[in-house]
Structure 1
Amino acid sequence: MGPFRPGAAGWARLAVLALLASAAVALAAAGLRSVLWLLLGLAGLALAAAGVWWALAGTGPARAAGLLLAVAAPAAVLALYATAGMLGPALASLALWGAAVAAARIALTPGADPVAAEHGAVAARHPWILMNPRSGGGKVGRFHLEDRARAAGARVVLLGSGHQDVSALARQAVSDGADLLGVAGGDGTQALVAEVAARHRLPFLVIPAGTRNHFALDLGLDREDPAAALDALADGVELDVDLGFAAGRVFVNNASFGTYASVVASPAYRDDKVHTALRTLPGLLTGPDAPRLRMRADDARAEGLQALLVSNNPYRRAVDSPHPGRRERLDSGRLGVLGVRVENAAQAAGMARGPRAPGLLRLTAREVVVEADTDTVPVGIDGEHVVLPVPVVVRVEPGALRVRVPRHRPGVPVHRPVADWPQVARIAFGTAPHRNPH
């Protein structure tokens, strides 16, 4: 990371003051009993987590009981707080703690941390863009992307309703003299064209016309205005970003194994995601066909995993509510590995501990080998279901893809580190050394 941002000391002092105020409010309201109230709150969270497990892994009465517990446990804690006159102080203390964490993360934020280093780009003379009119509920038509791309000098090919070989279309475009390949569509389509662009070292243009557009999000593109990505044709810069490969199949975001991959494999998933997930999860989590994966990542090993997500560069954290699924960088040359192993409600309750939960595995690696007790495993590669023979070798190729993006992008993510309180204190009191860039 780079040096601390200007004003970091002020944010660090604010974080320390807010943290002390949070504790002071609790102590003023309940004295040493505040520790008991804190433990009660944590117990409520643990019971809620156990209820969520039963709701996901059970059926019939067990699922209903789990839903009831997930709602009743925190409600009961709030009721006890209110009866004892602790609800107001508890909410105030929680708000101050949240402010302390937010200020600490700002203080620890480096002065500059782009998703990848930018460098100049020569305008393409023969850009080629593949567009899927059905992606994102018809964004290609709604934002007039075809007309705008043609006006910018690009050759546009529209995907038809039947099955078409996307990779073959991109390879033909290269044979016809295209010097830039672009996609207006979902992440799965983008990955197929990105592979061709990387193989020929051609710049790749992302137009966020899909439903989720996670890759575009991490590139800082405006997902609410897909046409803005076309500005890169006239005034763009390039980023050298990494590509992931799962058994030779490229992915720009992630490859998922286990429960999520099995849910995606269901033919009903596309039409009714929530109902399909709720219907299939019990058998996938606890049934005889529940996946049990083995994983080797560099020097680390794990067994009995129910779910495994391998991402092209690490995600910030397992759960990042302000920016779910965001990656700090796209050029670290590392895979992110997130594994889950939960066997019962007690272990599910332990997940309330967050990143330190015993059932949660998080690490980074250059290569991951996934094994199972079956000859093949279902894999979700950028949300597309495939079946691959085991073992599946997942690797990252650093700087494989030249991504052309607009010079001015509204959503370049800012890295907010996890609060490191000893470091925050050192910044606050002027004893922290500046960190060297990377």
Structure 2
Amino acid sequence: MAFFSPDAALSRARPQARLALFCLLGAVVVLLTVGGSGGLLVLFVGVAGVAVMAAGTWWVIAHHGAVRVVGGLLALGGPAAVIVLYARADLLPAALGALVLLAAAAASARAAARSLDRPAGMQAVACAAPRHAVLIMNPKSGGGKVARFRLAEKAREMGAEVVLLDTSGHSDVTQIARAAVAQGADLLGVAGGDGTQALVAQVAAENSLPFLVISAGTRNHFAMDLGLDREDPAACLDGLTDGEELNVDLGAVDGRPFVNTVSFGVYADVVQRPEYRDSKAGTALDALPGLLLAYAGEPLEARVGDVRLDAQQALLVSNNPYSVPGLAAGTGGRRPRLDGGRLGVVGVRVTSAAQAAGVALRGPASVGLKVMDAGQVTVTAQAPSIAVGVDGEALSLPTPVTCTISPRALRVRVPRKRPGSGGSGQALSWRTIFSLAFGRRRQTEILQG
């Protein structure tokens, strides 16, 4: 593991922070000089375009028929109208110049954050190679990645025992894992989706055994946040011979384990539908309008630690918070660490186009979006049971439903060389960037964010 020097980190980050502020100032100068009196118009029209696009998107997902068509036109036409207005007012060069400089400012700020990354948490430790590794593989997972990447053959060549799941879907993964432990396995691993990963991970945690993740699922969110190679599942097998261990948290919802997320409300109901597996986008578009209207009348209630969240249409509870909170959490976001001992929580209540625009413009500061974290989350509703999506698997659980987290309960064995390994991934605010650039805060304060 590379040695982290705070002085060297600050020396790298400070010029990057100054460059970010220089680009930000440049964007303002471009608007005031090139744009002249139209500089403020550029800002106003740009914000209005984002709001119109968000409102149109809301109508697309919340309505059927003509209203959906109008929403689609707004979602596509809003950005197009902005470009046309800029061009007609001779403001397009100013707008494009400012946009380029803002992008450069954001990139420099991210570079400063990466320079300050430190191995705080997710620290790997050396470990001995397993003597009797048992790997459970799902031949159907990820569209047949087990066969396509010859995972079973390669694992056996490395000395591992491979158990292929019954493709009819009748295999009891938990029972198979426990039988392997009873027969002397000193490592359990899974080539499959995140739902299967979680079930075997629980058995490994119960028996204090290392757990090997093989990214053979469709999305492989858990593998991504562990820094594993999602494009080449076979590279994960290197952990058998040249590996190290991470101690990570394991979530549970009413006793059932999860490694990524538990969803309640709108998305969880969509996942329940049989046609969802064959046509995810089409099923969601068909179901969302009715579900959104239903949850506007029968919302979810949640107790997040000591805080109460009322009237939520959807809730997402994650095993550690995502670094990109909001609707992207669980899809486009990442968790910079998996050993923080906290559940991430995102609550959504959007009942109008105006609130949808507010979420798009203000994010967690908007009325429709709540981003929190806690050690325990309890979800209730009027119904005796509610739809729940656990790592993408559809379940129905009796209310109330409780989510908990077991800190560093799982020993995950990973290859020493993996493409996504890095530091803490801390996000820096512009206030911190300014302080870093001009040295107005102490070194320890900056490094702690």
- TM bucket (normalised to shorter chain) is over 0.9
Residue type of the alignment partner of 1:112: R
Q: Distance in 1 between matches of 2:60 and 2:263?
A: 22
CA deviation vs aligned residue, 1:331-362 (integer Å, no higher than 9, x gap): 00000001110011111111122232210100
Alignment of structure 1 residues 5-404 onto 2, 5 Å: 5-109=10-114, 110-113=116-119, 116-162=122-168, 163-287=170-294, 292-317=299-324, 318=326, 324-353=332-361, 354-404=363-413
3-state SS of paired residue (1:205): strand
Residue type of the alignment partner of 2:162: V
Q: Distance in 2 between matches of 1:12 and 1:432?
A: 13
3-state SS of paired residue (1:239): strand
What is the TM-score with the length of structure 2 in the denominator? 0.93
Per-residue deviation, 1:309: 0.3
Residue type of the alignment partner of 2:300: L
Q: State whether residues 117 and 423 of structure 2, in contact with CA within 8 Å, keep that contact through their aligned partners in structure 1.
A: no
CA deviation vs aligned residue, 1:12-49 (integer Å, no higher than 9, x gap): 11011101100000000233542232112111111111
| CA gap 1:19/1:288 in 2 versus in 1, 3 angstroms | closer
3-state SS of paired residue (1:260): helix
3-state SS of paired residue (1:435): helix
Q: Distance in 2 between matches of 1:286 and 1:320?
A: 22
Q: State whether residues 290 and 306 of structure 1, in contact with CA within 8 Å, keep that contact through their aligned partners in structure 2.
A: no
Q: Distance in 1 between matches of 2:384 and 2:351?
A: 24
CA deviation vs aligned residue, 1:204-251 (integer Å, no higher than 9, x gap): 000101111100000011111111111111111000000011111100
Structure 1's unaligned 5+ residue stretches are none
3-state SS of paired residue (1:337): strand
What is the TM-score with the length of structure 1 in the denominator? 0.96
Q: Distance in 1 between matches of 2:270 and 2:27?
A: 42
Q: State whether residues 295 and 313 of structure 2, in contact with CA within 8 Å, keep that contact through their aligned partners in structure 1.
A: no
| CA gap 1:2/1:360 in 2 versus in 1, 3 angstroms | farther
Residue type of the alignment partner of 2:407: P
Aligned residues: 437
3-state SS of paired residue (2:111): helix
Q: Distance in 2 between matches of 1:299 and 1:91?
A: 46
Q: State whether residues 296 and 313 of structure 2, in contact with CA within 8 Å, keep that contact through their aligned partners in structure 1.
A: no
Q: State whether residues 105 and 416 of structure 1, in contact with CA within 8 Å, keep that contact through their aligned partners in structure 2.
A: no
| CA gap 1:44/1:289 in 2 versus in 1, 3 angstroms | closer
Q: Distance in 1 between matches of 2:345 and 2:183?
A: 39
Residue type of the alignment partner of 2:379: V
Q: State whether residues 259 and 291 of structure 1, in contact with CA within 8 Å, keep that contact through their aligned partners in structure 2.
A: no
2-11 vs 223-232, which moves further:
2-11
Larger RCO, structure (CA 8 Å, separation 6 or more)? 1
Residue type of the alignment partner of 1:343: T
Give RMSD over aligned pairs: 1.9
3-state SS of paired residue (1:7): helix
3-state SS of paired residue (1:369): strand
Structure 2's unaligned 5+ residue stretches are none
Q: State whether residues 47 and 349 of structure 1, in contact with CA within 8 Å, keep that contact through their aligned partners in structure 2.
A: yes
CA deviation vs aligned residue, 1:353-411 (integer Å, no higher than 9, x gap): 22322101001100001111111011100000111111111011100100000111111
Residue type of the alignment partner of 2:143: G
Give me the identity figure in percent: 52
345-354 vs 177-186, which moves further:
345-354
Per-residue deviation, 1:115: 6.2
3-state SS of paired residue (1:123): coil
Q: Distance in 2 between matches of 1:285 and 1:38?
A: 32
Per-residue deviation, 1:83: 0.4
| CA gap 1:432/1:84 in 2 versus in 1, 3 angstroms | same
Q: State whether residues 138 and 167 of structure 2, in contact with CA within 8 Å, keep that contact through their aligned partners in structure 1.
A: no
Q: State whether residues 115 and 413 of structure 1, in contact with CA within 8 Å, keep that contact through their aligned partners in structure 2.
A: no
| CA gap 1:238/1:138 in 2 versus in 1, 3 angstroms | same
| CA gap 1:107/1:45 in 2 versus in 1, 3 angstroms | same
Per-residue deviation, 1:268: 0.2
Q: State whether residues 129 and 156 of structure 1, in contact with CA within 8 Å, keep that contact through their aligned partners in structure 2.
A: yes
Q: Distance in 1 between matches of 2:267 and 2:424?
A: 27
Tell me if 1:405 matches 2:414. Answer: yes
3-state SS of paired residue (2:47): helix
140-149 vs 23-32, which moves further:
23-32
Residue type of the alignment partner of 1:160: D
Per-residue deviation, 1:435: 2.7
Per-residue deviation, 1:432: 2.8
3-state SS of paired residue (1:330): coil
